[in-house]
Chain A
Amino acid sequence: MPDLSITLKEEEIAQVVALLPEVLREELALKLEEAIRLLLAEVP
C-alpha cells in the first residue's frame, strides 16, 4: 500500500495531475466546480 499520509506540495500536485488524460481533467474540473457550488450553498 502506498503511504497516503504523504503531503504533496502544490507543484507536486500539478505534476500528478499532468499524468491524467485531458478529457478526464476537464471532467474532474467540472465536477469540482459543482462541488464548490454545493459547499458554498451550505455556508449560512
Chain B
Amino acid sequence: MATQIVALYLTPTFECIGVRCKFSGDANQNAIATLEYRPSGSTYWIPTTEMRVDRRAAVISQGSTIANPYANEWRASIVGLRRDTEYEVMVTIQDPDGVVGSPISGPIRTWSHDETQGLGPTYYVAPGASGGDGSLSRPWSLAYAEGRAQPGDSYLLLPGEYGSQTFIRSGVAGNPITYAPQNLANPPTFSGQITLNCRHVRLKGFRHPSGGTLIQNATWNILEAFEQSRRGITLQGEVTGTLIQDCYIHDITENPPNGFERAGIYRRQGTIGGVVIRHNNFAQCWDGIGGEGNFRLDGGYPDSDIHDNHIENVSDDGIEAEGSGLNTRIWNNTLINCFNADLGLASIIIGPTYVFRNLAVVTDPAIGQNGYKLGGNQSKGHLLIYHNTSYYTTGRQGFTDAGGKSAGNIGNISSRNNIMQARNRVIASWGTPSSFDNTVSFDYDNLYKPTGGYQDSYAVWDGGYYNFAQFRAGKPSQEVHGMSVDSQFVDPASSNFQLRETSPLVDAGQVILGFNDPDSAWPYVGSAPDIGAFELGVYVPPTPTPVLLTLEVAGNGTTDPPSGNYEYPRDSAVTLTAIPTAHHKFAGWTGSIVSLENPLMVTLTGDLSIVANFTSIIFIVAIAAEPGGSTDPASGSYQHQEGSQVTVIALPSAGYYFVEWQEGGLPIGTGNPLVFVVDADRSITAVFALISIPPGQFGVSITVLGQGTTTPVPGTYTVVENSPLTVVAAPVQGWRFAGWQGDVSGTNPSITVQVTRDLSIVAVFTEQPPSVSVGKILAGAALFATLVAMLRRH
C-alpha cells in the first residue's frame, strides 16, 4: 500500500516546466502529491500547480484499448516562469501507508534559444546568383549558401523569388545559422515548399505565399515573421524545440505539406517533442492550430506552449489540441469568430492540459456550434480550464460534449474562474445519463445566459433542461460558488473585455496555485482573484515592512553610519564601518552579528542590533635596573595605554652614579627622570656605575627628582674624607623644594654634611599648588576663627 517514487521527469519550454513523477505502489490510492519549485539558489520553495494523478493501466487511442505508457504518474505543469533560468523542482508525496523516496527534486533550465544570435560572419544571397563571394555586390545563390553554411553564419536574402528550398545544414546550440531578409521592406519570396531538416536554424521574415512549410525531423529551429498563405506549416517527426513566432498565417486554402487539413499549423500524428507557438496571427484557415491525431495517444501538442496567438475567422477550430494533451499549455490566445469551436479539446487522452486566460468572441450570426468542444473517447486525461473569457452573441453553445455524446465518457475536467457568456446553453451535455461523469466540476465560474436568445434553457445535462437555479439545485456539486450574471465588461463592442469596477465578478474567483496566487505570474489584486481572463487593477507587490538597524558604540570610536536607529527596506545591503579614535582599536561587532570584519557588509533580512566595540591600545613597559641602583617605579612590567606619558626615575645607590638608560643594549638617553609617551612596547634599563674614588676620598652622587637644580649641579663627585660638603636646592618657577632623600634628610634647602662615607643625596622638588590670594587665606583663617569661637561658646 505504500508509495515508492520511481523517477522525476522534467521537460521545459521557455516559460513552463512539465512535471511527471512516476511511482509504484499505493494500490489503495490514498496518496497525495504536492509540487513546489524555486529558482536555483533561492531558499524559498514556491508551492505551485496542483498535481493530478494518473493510475490508468490502459487508455483508449483511436478506439483501441492500449497500455498507458504514463500509468502511475503524478503530473502537472509549472507555468509563468522566466526563460533561460535554472529552477529546482520538488515533488512531495504523502501516503498514510508510507512513502519511499519522497521528496524527490531535480534541476532544470528553461529554454533560451529564442534570443540566441549567430556568432559568425554575414553573407549575402540573391535569387539566381552564381560565382559570387557572398558579398552584397556579388551574392551567392541560396542553394550554394545553404550548402556551405556553418554554425554562426548569417545570410541576408536580397529581394526576389527563391522558389523552394530544403534546409539541411545545422547550427549548434548557442550558435545558430540565420537566414533573414536583406531588405525588410521587400522580403524574399518562396513560392515553393520550404523544408526544414536541420537543427539550430533560424528562418526569419520570408514571404511564403504558396508552397507550405514542412518541419520534419528538425529540432531547435525558429520560424519567425513569416507571411504564410495558401499552405500552412506541418510539424512531423522529431521537432523538439521548434519555435514558431510572429508569423502571419492566412488564407490557407490547400492542405499543408504532408497535411490533410487546411490548418495554419498542422501537427502530424506520431510527432515527437515539445514546441512553442506564440505571437502569431492566424486568419482564414481550417483549424488555426491543429493536427491529425485527434483521438490518438501520439497526437496533439505534448510538452508544448500555445500562447498569445490571435486566431480569427477559421473554418474549424481555433486551436485543436486533441490527442495526448500531456502537459499542454494554452494561454492568452484571442479567438475571434472561429467557426466550429474556439478550443477543440476532444479528447485529452493523457493530460494534464491547461487552458487559461484565453479570450473567445463570436459575433458573426452565421456562427453557432461550440465554444469549448469537450470529448469524447473515455480516456479522461485531466483538463484544467481556468480564467477564460468567452463572449458569444450568436447561437453558439458554451461547454459542450460535441466530441462524444455517449453517457459518462467525459471526465477529469475542472472549470474555474471562467466567464462563459452565451445566448445559447452555457453547458450542453447530451448523453443520457450525462456524458459528463462526476469528475467534471464547474465552480467559481460566471456562466451567464441572458434572457431570450437561441434556447430557453441554461444547461442541458443528464437528459434534463435547466435554468441556473435548477441547475445548481439539480447538480448540487456544480457551481456552488458560481454565478450567472452580466459580467459588466467595459466595452464588448470594442473588444474590451476588462471588467468594470462594479462587476460582481471582481474578487469573486478562487485562488488557484500557480495560476493566480501572489507567487504566480498572474497575481490577483484585491481580496480574491477576479473571474475571467482579465484581472481588474494593477498588481502592486506589497511594500515590505522596513527593517530596523540599531547601531551602538562601546568604547572610544565612531561608526559610519553613526550610531543610532535606522530604517531600511527589507533585504537592503548596508556597509558598516568602525572607526576607532586615536590610541584605540576596533575590537569587533557584537549583538545580532558577531564579526571582526571591518567594514562589515550586512543584508537586512530582519531587525538587527549591532554594537561596535573599541578598546584602548595597551603596550607593555618593562623597567629594569642594573646593579648599583633602583628605579621608581621599581623593576617590573607595566601596562600603559597608547599615548600615555610615563616617567621613570633612576636612583643610584650610595657609591654609584646613574650613567644612562638603555634599551635592547643600546643607549637611549641620559636624562633623569626618563619621560616618554608610550607608542610601542618598551624595555628600559637604568644603568649605574661605581663612582671611581681615589684613596682617602668618598663618592657623592647628587640627584634631582622633579624640576629644580642643586649647587653643585647634580652629578657625581669625590670628596676628601671628613671635609664638609654643602648642597643647596633651588626649584624652578612653579615648583618648590620638598626635602632631601637618600642618605640625607630635612627640608631646609641648604644642607651641609661631613663626608665620612659614600653618599647619595637626592633633592626632591614638587609642583607648587595653585596660588591663593592673601585675601582668601585671611578669609579662610577668619572663618576658622569664627568656628573656634562657636566651638568654645558652649
Contact = CB atoms under 8 A, between A and B. Distances in A.
Given A35-B784, A36-B784, A17 B794 contact: yes
Interface stretch (B167-175, B534-542, B775-783): B775-783
Contact of A33 (B774, B778, B788, B790): B788
Interface in B733-791: 772, 774, 777-778, 780-781, 784-788, 790-791
Contacts of B148: none
Interface in A17-36: 17-18, 20, 22, 25-26, 28-29, 32-33, 35-36
A24 to B, nearest CB: 9
A4 interface: no
B791 A10 contact: no
B774 A13 contact: no
A44 interface: yes
B781 A36 contact: yes
A26 B791 contact: yes
Contacts of A33: 784, 788
Contacts of B772: 42
Contacts of B780: 39
Nearest to A42: B777
B788 A13 contact: no
B455 to A, nearest CB: 99
Contact of B791 (A25, A36, A39, A43): A25
A17 B791 contact: yes
Nearest to A44: B774
A43 B778 contact: yes
Contacts of A18: 794
Contact of B785 (A17, A26, A36, A44): A36
A14 B791 CA distance: 8
B786 A10 contact: yes
Given A10-B786, A36-B785, A29 B791 contact: yes
Q: Chain A interface mostly helix, strand, loop or mixed?
A: helix
Contacts of B778: 39-40, 43
A43 B792 contact: no
Contacts of A14: 790, 793
A28 B789 CA distance: 11
In terms of DSSP, what is the predominant structure of the interface of chain B?
A: helix
Contacts of A32: 784-785, 787-788, 791
A5 B778 CA distance: 23
B777 A43 contact: yes
A29 B781 contact: no
A30 B294 CA distance: 128
B748 to A, nearest CB: 16
B778 to A, nearest CB: 7
Contacts of A17: 787, 790-791, 794
A13 B787 contact: yes
B793 A29 contact: no
Nearest to A32: B784
How many B residues are at the interface, by size bracket? 10 to 19
Contact of A25 (B784, B786, B794): B794
B15 to A, nearest CB: 77
Nearest to B779: A39
B467 to A, nearest CB: 92
B79 to A, nearest CB: 76
Contacts of B791: 17, 20, 25-26, 28-29, 32
A25 to B, nearest CB: 4
A15 to B, nearest CB: 10
B794 A22 contact: yes
Contacts of B787: 13, 17, 28-29, 32
Contacts of A42: 772, 777
A18 to B, nearest CB: 6
Contacts of B794: 17-18, 22, 25
A40 B788 CA distance: 16
A16 to B, nearest CB: 9
A43 B774 contact: yes
A37 B787 CA distance: 14
B788 A29 contact: yes
B777 A13 contact: no
Contacts of A22: 794
A25 B785 CA distance: 13
Contacts of A43: 774, 777-778
B770 to A, nearest CB: 13
B329 to A, nearest CB: 82
A33 to B, nearest CB: 6
A43 to B, nearest CB: 5
Which among B785, B791, B793 has the highest number of chain A CB atoms within 10 Å? B791
Nearest to B786: A10
B769 to A, nearest CB: 11
A32 B780 CA distance: 11
A27 B792 CA distance: 10
A39 B780 CA distance: 8
Given A43-B774, A44-B774, A13 B790 contact: yes
B303 to A, nearest CB: 86
Contact of B781 (A25, A39, A44): A39
Q: Name which of B774, B780, B788 has the most chain A CB atoms within 10 A of its CB.
A: B788
A9 to B, nearest CB: 12
Contacts of B792: 25-26, 29
Interface in B53-100: none
Nearest to A17: B790
A17 B794 CA distance: 9
A30 to B, nearest CB: 9
A39 B781 CA distance: 7
B633 to A, nearest CB: 32
A13 B794 CA distance: 13
B776 to A, nearest CB: 10
Nearest to A41: B777
Nearest to B794: A18
Interface string B316-348: 000000000000000000000000000000000
B774 A40 contact: no
A20 B793 CA distance: 12
A44 B773 CA distance: 10
A22 B772 CA distance: 33
A42 B422 CA distance: 119
A32 B772 CA distance: 19
Nearest to A25: B791
Contacts of B793: 14
Contacts of B785: 32, 36
Report the 6 A-B pairs with minimum CB-CB distance, sorted nearest first: A29-B791, A25-B791, A32-B784, A39-B781, A29-B788, A36-B781
13 contacts: A10-B790, A14-B790, A22-B794, A26-B791, A26-B792, A29-B792, A35-B781, A35-B784, A39-B784, A40-B777, A40-B781, A42-B777, A43-B778
Given A13-B790, A17-B794, A29-B792, 13 more contacts: A17-B791, A20-B791, A26-B791, A26-B792, A28-B791, A29-B791, A32-B791, A33-B784, A35-B781, A36-B784, A39-B777, A39-B784, A40-B781
